Amino acid sequence: MYERVHTAFLALLVTTDPDMHRLAQQQGPLPLPVPRPPFEALVRTVVGQQLSVQAASTISARLISACDGQLEPCRLQALPMDALRGAGLSRSKADCVLRIADLAGPDGHRLEKLTELPAAEWRKELLQIKGLGPWSCDMFGMFGLGDLDMFSAKDLGLRNAMVASLGMGAIEKPAAFELRACRWKP
């Protein structure tokens, strides 16, 4: 599957963005993220806000352990605040993941149904949860749902990569990065 997606991407880039075409050709096919269940993916997104990948992984592992190995809404809701904080969540992140659990329902099916809607609709719903912003929705779409047509112009890592690899100016506004990424739209 990686090869098929990569070949289609290269064909698009030949005319829309020659610089990105060169980079994609040099890099070769990249493995696509394997989507997690939506509830777990969204909780992991919140855990990872403004943290290194290693710190986020450590806290996620502690949280899963506190949930007896299954990160499910009903198990998360059963934990006292002290257990959430003990796993490494700040109070605001703990409150946020509990609100996500409320939205998801005990088995996570309400969140799964929500993510079947077009991105604009599930984003609108998720943005009502305190602690979830545009960046979190973008990361959830990309890594949690495996949406190949998702880009986060506010993500510093993506912007830095575009500056280093595509010659974009470091001081450009997020809209300029978004405009460049539109060239890659399938």
CA torsion through residues 133, 114, 2, 45, sign: positive
Closest by Cα among 29, 30, 23 to 180: 23
Q: For the chain, give the secondary structure using H, E and C.
A: CHHHHHHHHHHHHHHHCHHHHHHHHHHCCCCCCCCCCHHHHHHHHHHCCCCCHHHHHHHHHHHHHHCCCCCCHHHHHHCCHHHHHHCCCCHHHHHHHHHHHHHHCCCCHHHHHHCCCCHHHHHHHHCCCCCCCHHHHHHHHHHHCCCCCCCCCCCHHHHHHHHHHHCCCCCCCHHHHHHHHHHHCC
pLDDT score recorded for residue 3: 79
| Residue with the two structure tokens 């996570």 | 108
pLDDT at 85: 98
Confidence at residue 2, expressed as pLDDT on a 0 to 100 scale? 66
Is-contact 59 121, C-beta < 8 A? no
Using alpha carbons, select from 178, 90, 96 the residue that is nearest to residue 129. Answer: 96
What is the rounded distance in angstroms from the CA atom of residue 77 to the CA atom of residue 81? 9
One-letter amino acid at 49 equals: Q
pTM of the model: 0.86
The answer to whether residues 58 and 88 touch, using CB atoms and an 8 Å cutoff, is yes
How confident is the model at residue 30, as a pLDDT? 80
Domains of the chain by range and CATH?
2-32+151-184 (no CATH), 38-144 (1.10.340.30)
Per-residue pLDDT tens digits of the chain, which is 186 residues long: 567 888 888 888 989 999 999 999 998 888 877 788 999 999 999 999 999 999 999 999 999 999 999 999 999 999 999 999 999 999 999 999 999 999 999 989 999 999 999 999 999 999 999 999 999 999 999 888 888 888 998 888 899 999 999 989 888 888 999 999 999 987
